Structure 1
């Protein structure tokens, strides 16, 4: 269960770079100059590249099912320690990145005035971010993209809660319990796709995104080579459900999530989930993707501010600034991964080692 999955590494690596480029195109004054040179490309990154989030949602569900319930039932004896471990692993680097973001914002504020600069934070704003409830309370974000961290934690908690409830209240026997878990997840996916995901007022809540996340969860169970018959039937149910939801209301993001889920099923059943593509570059970019995601906006703000104040105001020079910001996001994200994320992440794994040792 600890071996790397090259295909997922590739999805995470590409997805993280698309999110960085989306933020560079959407925020800051440099992209306005680049738009004069490459209007269609900048517009695509500004509007469409953000759909890479759907890849992350599906992959997150796939990996959560792999970790929590590889056979369809919750393996751990208790759910709360798992939830704490998830919080420690995700939120500790995230909180460190928020401190960096606040410093970077003040540095950028010294050089430029722009509507992409967040307002100065107060204590309540930071506390809500620390508790990962800022999206639920409609508190302004301290950095672009941090809403996803809160949603990811919500989704993990919802899945963990469903697994725990079925084990507590469901039928005896692993096979019957596993079947009921799959049915419950499929029903929650349906609720999301047919109702909640069609109403943007719910986009601060996990249920809005559970359609994509749940497809990833189901994809893990469907792709089990040892479960060919039931897995195939569940797969057709998932695909049919998603196609019906798209016929009711077309959403490109849901179509993309379905394609990613189907590709994960195919990759695992075919065996190349573990073997393709073999790339040290993609594997490394995947490893640092969370840190790059956390730091890209504040780093890009500082580069935008410096170029706004000191560089010539022409499309070529400002476009070079965009490329420099992209490079800086990756280099500083890698440094943050090794210096902060990797070290803080160990705290989230301590709880998993102790019971095994005992």
Structure 2
């Protein structure tokens, strides 16, 4: 979920793979196409259903890596004001999210008229719309308007928590040398990651709070400092220790993925620095990197695109497994096309508070209009 200025071929390629995995997980999870096509490849469908969702851990690790790079590359706060940094993050996340949610609300209303399936969201309520517009839906007990919206809220919580931690260290009284403040801030990150991995992440009821996901996010920060350090072994050892103890206490596949992602990202980035910076990616990797660049937009808009194709194909060919399998491929392709449009037309433009408020109001207004029409008013 990086800003357009933060480009790395390795990171973009990793994000591209994770993004594709999430889209295919949702295609397998939300029917009816996957239900009809399942007999053609039951093992693959089961894998996508059960395991592809773990790609979220990769996004958490990459998110922490990029947060450390932008907020505190040397361990101390680089931003001027905590409120300004948090506000900019909210606006940058919210504008594309609101655009995508308007699209999903409209598609859901269209699909609801001819397809009766559990994957089709109900007409939204005012409380639900406001909660989603403020990224508070899980905390307020409201349903999300689209798949994956929960992650946007968690990303914002994690970023805000990180900003506040670094701002607190900077505001401590006394003439501390920069090295000591940096060491204290990094120590807080390590302690927070340990608390999350060893305790909070083992409590399922906390999964709407940043503390539940801080472990993977913190591993990403440690990976960044390992890449930047002249002595990376200590940071790599800390990653292994944090993840290893967490898995020994309670083995969780998602934490294993986060651990491998953090170590792999650190090693790959160091290798990239060591070798020629001018080397270009092979064609297949370049394609993945392009998907990674627009991964946030694809992540946001793909549910509406997949829902639309599901409705058309599942209604016209309700018993044809091959056609429904092709429909899944078409939904994936449409998700990439829609995500590309969103990336070029919305995400790449630096938004303002006025833009965010307009789209938030547009989301609430569109949702209420849809609800009224759905109820025959």
Q: TM-score when scaled to structure 1?
A: 0.92
Q: Take 1:213 and 1:346, find their aligned partners in 2: how far apart are those partners?
A: 25
Q: Take 2:120 and 2:18, find their aligned partners in 1: how far apart are those partners?
A: 24
Q: Take 1:285 and 1:66, find their aligned partners in 2: how far apart are those partners?
A: 21
Q: 1:346 deviation in Å? A: 4.4
Q: 1:111 deviation in Å? A: 2.2
Count of paired positions: 345
* SS of corresponding position for 1:223: helix
Q: Structure 1 residues 269, 324: CA separation in 2 closer, same or farther (over 3 Å shift)?
A: closer
Contact 1:7 1:272 survives alignment (8 Å): no
Contact 1:10 1:277 survives alignment (8 Å): no
Counterpart residue number, 2:360: none
Contact 1:7 1:277 survives alignment (8 Å): no
User: Is 1:215 matched up with 2:216?
Assistant: no
Q: Take 1:156 and 1:206, find their aligned partners in 2: how far apart are those partners?
A: 9
CA RMSD of aligned residues (A): 1.9
Counterpart residue number, 2:98: 95
Q: Take 1:271 and 1:306, find their aligned partners in 2: how far apart are those partners?
A: 45
Q: 1:142 deviation in Å? A: 0.5
Q: Take 2:168 and 2:31, find their aligned partners in 1: how far apart are those partners?
A: 46
Structure 1, gaps ≥5 residues long = 351-358
Q: Take 1:281 and 1:270, find their aligned partners in 2: how far apart are those partners?
A: 21
Pick aligned residue for 2:348 from 342, 350, 355? 342
Counterpart residue number, 2:84: 81
C-alpha deviations, 1:232-255, integer Å up to 9, x for none? 323313311221111111011111
Pick aligned residue for 1:200 from 179, 183, 204? 204
User: Is 1:167 matched up with 2:150?
Assistant: no
Q: 1:327 deviation in Å? A: 1.0
Higher mean Cα deviation, 42-51 or 122-131?
122-131
Counterpart residue number, 1:176: 180
Q: Take 1:56 and 1:234, find their aligned partners in 2: how far apart are those partners?
A: 20
C-alpha deviations, 1:203-225, integer Å up to 9, x for none? 00010000000100111112214
Q: Structure 1 residues 26, 272: CA separation in 2 closer, same or farther (over 3 Å shift)?
A: farther
Q: Take 2:43 and 2:318, find their aligned partners in 1: how far apart are those partners?
A: 23
Counterpart residue number, 2:193: 189
Q: Structure 1 residues 3, 91: CA separation in 2 closer, same or farther (over 3 Å shift)?
A: closer
Contact 2:95 2:351 survives alignment (8 Å): no
Contact 1:242 1:258 survives alignment (8 Å): yes
Q: 1:269 deviation in Å? A: 2.7
Q: 1:170 deviation in Å? A: 6.8
Q: TM-score when scaled to structure 2?
A: 0.87
C-alpha deviations, 1:149-171, integer Å up to 9, x for none? 00000000011111111111276
Q: Take 1:85 and 1:3, find their aligned partners in 2: how far apart are those partners?
A: 16
Contact 2:77 2:170 survives alignment (8 Å): yes
C-alpha deviations, 1:97-116, integer Å up to 9, x for none? 11111001011112200011
C-alpha deviations, 1:143-190, integer Å up to 9, x for none? 111100000000000111111111112761110011111111111011
